[in-house]
Amino acid sequence: MRKLLLLLVLLPSLAVAQTVTRDGVTLSAPQEQRAEAIGDQLRCLVCQNESIEGSSATLAKQLRVIIRQQVVAGADDKSIMDYMVQRYGIFVLLKPPISPLTWLLYASPFLALALGLLFAWLARRGTVAAPPPLDAAEQDRLERLLKS
């Protein structure tokens, strides 16, 4: 009887042992893994080269709380990511989707190089070579014109 009573007392502790409390939100282990996976895909807007999971900035902590609250509420990953993009812009994604804008960003160094080469070619093409020197007859004629 004592063993049964001890088992009944300790059994609820197993459920508590499987929950994780981080940033003030209590999650189960799978929910915590899911929240971390989402946080690893989002950029810390303060640090800019770090995910919000790896950042210790105050804003990153607030974003982690929002993600965990939405995970607890049952939101799927896409809706959480869409919420973050809607609120903070596409810059919040560490790996933005390929779009015409991102292609322009990737191609801009090559476009700048091409424009620079074109400008240099046009500038060089516009220079005029020095005229050939005057021969003796032309030099005499020029001097007569200048004297009169």
Only one residue has tokens 């007859």, namely 137
Name the pTM for this structure.
0.59
Buried b or exposed e, range 112-126, using 16+ CB within 10 angstroms: eeeeeeeeeeeeeee
Question: With contact defined as beta carbons under 8 Å apart, do 42 and 51 qualify?
Answer: yes
Each residue of 119-142: pLDDT tens digit?
998 888 877 778 888 899 999 998
Third-level CATH fold of 2-92: Helicase, Ruva Protein; domain 3 (1.10.8)
Mean of the per-residue pLDDT values of the chain: 85
- At residue 68 the predicted structure's pLDDT band, cuts being 50, 70 and 90, is very high
Q: What is the pLDDT of residue 135?
A: 92
Percent helix, percent strand, percent coil in the chain, to nearest 5: 65, 10, 25
For the chain, domain boundaries: 2-92, 100-147
